Amino acid sequence: MLLSGLTFEMMTIFSLILLTAILFVSEVVRIDIVASCILLLLGMTNLVPKAQLFSGFSSDAVISLIGVMIVGAGLEKSGIMLTVARWIAVLGGDSEKRIRLLLMGFGGILAGILRSVGSVALFLPVVTRISRRTGLSKAQFLMPLGYCAILGSTLTMVGTGPLIILNSVLEVHWRDIMDTPIEPFGLLDVLPVGVVMLIVGILYFGLFSRFFLPKVNEKPFTPGSNTEHFVKTYDVGGGAYELRVLSNSPLVGMELRDVEDILDPSIAVVGLKIGNQYWMPPLRVDVIQSGMVIAVLGNRELINDFAQAQGLRLSSCLSAFIERLNPAVSGLCEVVLPPGSDLIGEDFSTLHMRREHGVQVLAINRAGKTYRQDELSSLTLKPGDTLGIFCEWERIIALEKDPDFVVVTSDFPHESYRRDKAIPALTCSVLGIALVLAGVLALPIGLLLSVMGMVFTKVLTIDEAYAAVSWRTVFLFAGMLPLGIAMQETGADAWLISKLMNGIDGLSVTAILAIIAVFTSVLTLFLSNVGVTVLLIPLALKLALYVGGDPRLFVLTVAIAASNSFIIPTHQANALIVGPGHYSSKDFLRAGIGMTLLYLLVILLVVPYIV
């Protein structure tokens, strides 16, 4: 009979699994709360020994998971990841194909370190900047980025949740089955799989993206959200443009102050660049040179007229200043002089705001009247004067601490990077990983070494380290691990395997692996990939022993297939890009079917050769 041998304890555990699946799919309750409730029920029903009930919290997998999150936060805080993102933006230029290729490549590689969600979160603002600058649709970049981040997360054993927990779950269940130890997976054992996955993904989008990526028009670039307010209040500013100085330009050899005298007052010069050297803000004594790039804010028609008259070439889009003029780095803001300011009664020309504070005052508004350019030099400052400023946000953050100014604008990013900690952050990360690869330290210890190194070198404070941890993910895993233990303790996994054997009797190991991969891929569309991994690894182990297959091959197939989530945006990395990319379910369906099939094919062709 189909249900013969089924005990009350087995029915209880299957009921809990069904309840978990229903709650995960319906999303009535958060998945971490579901996992915690399941943990509670397992304890109350005595289906798991008390000594193992909370083993998830003390497992190597949880320590590794926490370590990866904190190390990623340290690399981000030190500005290393921002630097990488800037390189991509500059190298990509305005070529859609080149930008997409760079995003897929770097996004996939970084996912092997930061996990797919961290990689996508890092590049989301980069894609937004590129889209604003070029007018290219974010939809052309975000789905390739999200998919390749998922693919690239299989490059290392710390790139995705299922791979992070694999060794820990494998050890727990193998110890209960066999007396002999089983070899754990090394940090880079899955590298060949990840490389092939990433190459396949890049080729997939390179060859077929025009058939399924939607076209969405984007708004043109503006240097911040308050541009209209500045144009209305100060009659200065507008769009951001670049002018290249030609060799025959009459401006060559002139100081910037002389150039500003012949400019329309509504146009502001906010940056100069020649070679690899930038001046932002530019000083009025700076000399214009042939080949120099001038960054300006203003009306495009007026700027174009000035360019034609003065031997300048107006660029079609930002290139040299793509990063320095993006809204995350610089923008327009307002600063008021309070009554107690020491600057009251001083001539504006004596302040040297560009040289001393690194900010450029475009205009001053006093009781509704605006003063610009030459009018500023003879202006005596009074309480309540409002300075319209353009600068990098790092400068305005410093100005906030100066009692002589009150910064009115608040909608700028207050996140500050510790760029002087880039070398310590990189050193700590590389040292920990190198010792793991050399076999000197286990993965969780190596990651903990990197974490403590970052704390002691002040890359991160201990509070920032705690804040970097997604405790939701930690509790999800810690709550789900005992569910797999309960299946083993009650004999539910052995009973299920015995029933499955009747259906797969006579099939080859490859065919059985294909069934496991497909079954895992279907489940992971609706359930947490970590939860699916925890549930299926004990079944995969028993199944491997029944058919005489390699247990490590079977469990690795489960762990990698658990990330095969492309058809619907249920994976966290894909969930991040749905809104910004304006994707529909049909978009994911069109792109995801092909990617899912290719993913399964790579598993079956590559995984057996690395185990």
Which residue(s) pair with 336 in the sheet? 386, 406
pLDDT digits (tens, 9 = 90+) for 578-607: 767 778 878 888 999 999 999 999 999 999
CA–CA separation, 32 and 67 (whole Å): 19
3-class secondary structure per residue, 392-444: EHHHHHHHHCCCCCEECCCCCCCCCCCHHHHHHHHHHHHHHHHHHHCCCCCHH
pLDDT digits (tens, 9 = 90+) for 216-228: 655 545 555 556 6
Which of 302-306, 514-518, 528-532, 569-573 bottoms out in mean pLDDT, i.e. has the lowest?
A: 569-573
Q: Where are the domains of the chain?
A: 8-216+441-609, 227-314, 332-407
- Looking at per-residue pLDDT, the higher value among 466 and 414 belongs to 466
CATH 3.30.930.10 assigned to 332-407:
no
Fold match, 227-314 / 332-407: yes
**Is the pLDDT confidence value at 530 over 60?**
yes
Tokens read off for 372: 């610009």
pLDDT at position 254 is 93
- Residue 556's pLDDT band (boundaries 50, 70, 90)? very high
**Is the pLDDT confidence value at 19 over 80?**
yes
Q: How far is CA 495 from CA 5, 18, 350, 489, 504, in A?
A: 7, 17, 86, 12, 15
- Residue 191's pLDDT band (boundaries 50, 70, 90)? very high
Which CATH topology does 227-314 take?
Answer: Alpha-Beta Plaits (3.30.70)
| Token pair 């294909």: residue | 514
Mean pLDDT of the chain: 84
Tokens read off for 6: 């089924």
pLDDT at position 582 is 77
Q: Given strand 239-245, what is the order of strands in its sheet?
A: 277-279, 268-274, 293-298, 239-245, 312-314
CA–CA separation, 55 and 567 (whole Å): 34
Cα atoms in the Cβ-side hemisphere of radius 13 Å centred on 363: 21
pLDDT at position 295 is 92
pLDDT at position 218 is 53
Which of 169-173, 260-264, 479-483, 595-599 bottoms out in mean pLDDT, i.e. has the lowest?
A: 479-483
**Is the pLDDT confidence value at 348 over 70?**
yes
Q: Residue 450: which of 466, 433, 467 has the closest Cα?
A: 433
pLDDT digits (tens, 9 = 90+) for 134-145: 667 888 998 999
pLDDT digits (tens, 9 = 90+) for 231-242: 666 667 678 889
**Is the pLDDT confidence value at 412 over 70?**
no
